[in-house]
């Protein structure tokens, strides 16, 4: 599939605890020929972003995938105005506060985008495969 055009697809997610599971399933169903390790990392990262959108954002929550084998780009948009912050090192007994650190560590690139024309924010990441 090298040299082919990227494939973009998106879905609106429910603003519920099930959203991350829906996002992982959607990603797996639309992953095409992505390497299994890359798919695993993408599912982990999409879980973090969607969980944050549910917990800290506001509906509507949209997941967009852009497959460009051997890599993938993922965007999670919600209508909330609060921007994510990468926290400092979480204490070992602290149950939260590691999600964006995981994204920062595993993603090839990641970031947050806002626009005056569109309410909310988009948190995104890119993963590039070994052949990229």
Reply yes or no: is the peptide bond before residue 70 cis, omega within 30 of 0.
yes
Do the domain assignments include residue 132?
no
- Residue 64 domain flag: yes
Residue found by looking up tokens 């995104």 in the block? 124
On whether the CB atoms of residues 69 and 33 are closer than 8 A, the answer is: yes
User: pTM of this prediction?
Assistant: 0.88
User: Does the pLDDT at position 2 exceed 60?
Assistant: no
Domain count, the chain: 1
Mean pLDDT of 107-128: 94
Q: How far apart are CA 33 and CA 93, in angstroms?
A: 38
Q: Which residues pair with 73 in a beta bridge?
A: 66, 126
Q: How many CA atoms lie within 13 A of 51 on its CB side?
A: 14
Which CATH number is 90's domain given? 3.30.565.10
pLDDT digits (tens, 9 = 90+) for 17-57: 999 999 999 999 999 889 999 999 999 999 999 999 999 99
pLDDT (tens digit per residue) in 70-101: 999 999 999 998 888 766 666 666 656 668 88
Full domain range(s) for residue 26: 7-127
The verdict on residue 1 lying in a domain is no
Maximum CA pair distance of the chain?
47
């Amino acid at each position: 599939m090298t040299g082919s055009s990227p494939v973009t697809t998106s879905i609106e997610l429910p603003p519920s605890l099930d959203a991350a599971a829906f996002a992982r399933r959607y990603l797996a169903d639309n992953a095409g020929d992505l390497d299994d390790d890359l798919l695993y990392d993408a599912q982990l990262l999409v879980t973090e972003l969607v969980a944050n959108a549910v917990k800290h954002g506001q509906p509507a929550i949209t997941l967009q995938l852009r497959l460009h084998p051997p890599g993938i780009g993922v965007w999670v948009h919600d209508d909330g105005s609060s921007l994510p912050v990468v926290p400092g090192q979480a204490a070992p007994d602290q149950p939260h506060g590691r999600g964006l650190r995981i994204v920062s560590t595993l993603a090839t690139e990641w970031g947050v985008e806002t626009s005056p024309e569109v309410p909310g924010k988009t948190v995104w990441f890119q993963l590039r495969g070994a052949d990229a």
